[in-house]
Amino acid sequence: MALPLENIRVLDLTRAAAGPFATMILGDLGADVVKVEPTPKGDMTRLWGPYDHGIGIYYLSINRNKRCLGIDFRNSDGLATLQRLAAEADVVVENFKPGTAEEMGLGYETVKATNPRVIYGSISGLGRTGPYGTWPGLDQIAQGMSGMMSLTGQPGGEPTRYGVPIGDFTAGMWCALAITAAVAQRHVTGEGQRVETSLLSALVGLLSVQGQRYLSNGDVPGQTGNDHPTIYPYGIFEAQDGPLNVATAREEHWQRLCAVIGLEKLIDDPDFASNDTRMRNKDALRDILNARFRTRNAIDWTKDLMEGGVPSGPVYSLDKVFNDPQVIDQAMVERVEHPTIGALDLLANPMKMDAFEGRSVRTPPPLVGQHNRAVLTEYGFSAAEIESLATSGAIGEEDAAGRL
């Protein structure tokens, strides 16, 4: 079965995190993603530690299912090569600081003039326009400016960032979704278009119910720690061997919880008879529940609670995550052969599609310039032109020992 984006050619001018995450998704869906990296060092994330055989783990985590073209961006022949590729690509994706692509002759209007069917995806830090449009914006900054950090952490504590760069990855997902939708629309209209998002917009868009509380009622929610802001009990409790998540999203969940843990008397207790009273008396209820949960291990409670119809689960560290039988069953790790590392385990795409035929990771993250000659040939460059580009230093490639 063909992959959804098979035969869609993507010129990937992105670097760091948000853009590569977007193009990785497109690659997972079958697009031919050509990641352009500046020679001699390649994408900056290759140098971000920790490392696996000298390659930044950050890079390895977000660049599967791509080919790589190594270009000297300072070389006029290198830039001319990129402009020629952009004129032929179905999709161009960039996450430069606003204005940089235009300076390189690779802005949307310039590319559109020679390639009117192009779908041009842009990711910026804070937005391409507006009073902050020229400001650089990294994930940490966007988490703060979006309000996300004000909602995260323990009550009364300092604003807290997520454990992963959620602004980068969310912006990447939104961009990939928009590009995929634009590809579908082009099949109908024959027209390309510009699609864009920013780390800031992506996170503001995730504010969801917390954002709507402000828009509807003027509420300014604060940090709630690990508790749900409006439902209780819904959060982390203390099992014998570590933390336990319990989520009574509905009233029947609360009643089932009381039955499973042998505290049916709480159902009719006026202090806990409704969600409103449980929220008012959550500290006292937490103490009662923790005293019971501390008598058994988290996974034992989980099995009984889930069988009893109460959503629950242990809180794992990553070593336990990747050894959990359910995670293993969901095939969230796939192994590929990397040209310098050898056998390399990578996270898989969490989407399950018949078209994947059981495997979403088809190729490992590439070496710098690994596919120079193949890519340029496919885009119509002659052998003589390719040799000239190599001789002038406009293109470069890394050997198996990591040397250009």
d(CA 27, CA 323): 27
Q: Calculate Rg over the CA atoms of the chain.
A: 25
Q: Residue 94 carries which side chain, given as an amino acid letter?
A: E
E strand residue ranges, 189-326: 193-198, 234-239, 242-247, 312-314
Q: At what angle do helices 166-189 and 18-28 cross, to 10 degrees?
A: 50
Q: Is 193 helix (H, G, I), strand (E, B) or coil?
A: strand
* Active-site residue identified among 168, 269, 276, 345: 168
Which value, to the nearest 10 degrees, does the dihedral of the CA atoms of residues 148, 277, 298, 321 take? Answer: -20
How many Å separate Cα 158 from the centre of its chain? 25
Query: Catalytic site residue 219?
Result: no
Q: What are phi and psi of 261, to 5 degrees?
A: -95, 5
Cis omega (within 30 of 0) on the bond before 314? Answer: no
Do residues 342 and 333 lie in contact, with contact meaning Cβ atoms separated by under 8 Å? Answer: no
CA-based torsion, 379, 382, 388, 391: positive or negative = positive
How many Å separate Cα 284 from the centre of its chain? 39
Do residues 110 and 182 lie in contact, with contact meaning Cβ atoms separated by under 8 Å? Answer: no
Q: Is 360 helix (H, G, I), strand (E, B) or coil?
A: coil
d(CA 53, CA 89): 33
Give the active site residues: 168
